[in-house]
Amino acid sequence: MCKKKKVANHLNDISAIQPDLMKKTAKSWYGTNEHTTWIIKHASRTLLKKGDPDIMALFGYGDDPSVQVTDLKVVQDPIRIGEKMTFQFTLQAAKPLKLRVEYAIDYVKARGTRNQKVFKITEFETSSALHREFIRSQSFQNMTTTKSTMREPIL
């Protein structure tokens, strides 16, 4: 497992520098056996978070207009440094699908520029139409690697 993870991490690093090379490798390795499939899935996490259409298609995720996000609510507002923001939403789809559910937050950096961070909630396949509720929390704490500013984060 350790060697597989190292290979996947190296490929993920390559995907940031040469995404076309990573996509070519992913297409040739995916499905050859369970080990390479796992490696490619783990190595593609950055491209998946970016919503790369080729990688999304490789793993069976499509752009389906029948999928709808409804009833999005942020439980507390405003949010202060050190607190958690809790939000909820309902995901609806009219037919069976393979879904990857994520959310993104645009943080405002100290200089006023925005930086988007994508968080994966889950991925699953439905066997029928879908109506599923989600509740998630996101912490807004200062870390040693980054300092939060509460200037207009966008969910």
Give the model confidence (pLDDT) of 26-75 as tens digits. 999 999 999 999 999 999 999 999 999 999 999 999 888 889 999 999 98
Structure tokens at 106: 């645009």
- CA distance readout (Å), 101 to 48, 61, 67: 11, 11, 11
How many other C-beta atoms can be found within 10 angstroms of the C-beta atom of residue 119?
12
- What are 106-120's pLDDT values in tens digits? 888 878 888 899 999
143 pLDDT above the threshold of 60: yes
State residue 129's pLDDT score.
Answer: 86
Structure tokens at 78: 């405003």
Residues 6+ apart with CB under 8 A from 98: 59, 60, 61, 62, 123, 124, 125, 126
State residue 148's pLDDT score.
Answer: 56
State residue 87's pLDDT score.
Answer: 93
State residue 77's pLDDT score.
Answer: 72
d(CA 63, CA 140): 31
Query: Residue 27's closest CA among 18, 16, 36?
Result: 36
Structure tokens at 50: 């970016």
Farthest-apart Cα atoms in the chain, separation: 50
pTM exceeding the 0.75 threshold for the entire prediction = yes
State residue 6's pLDDT score.
Answer: 94
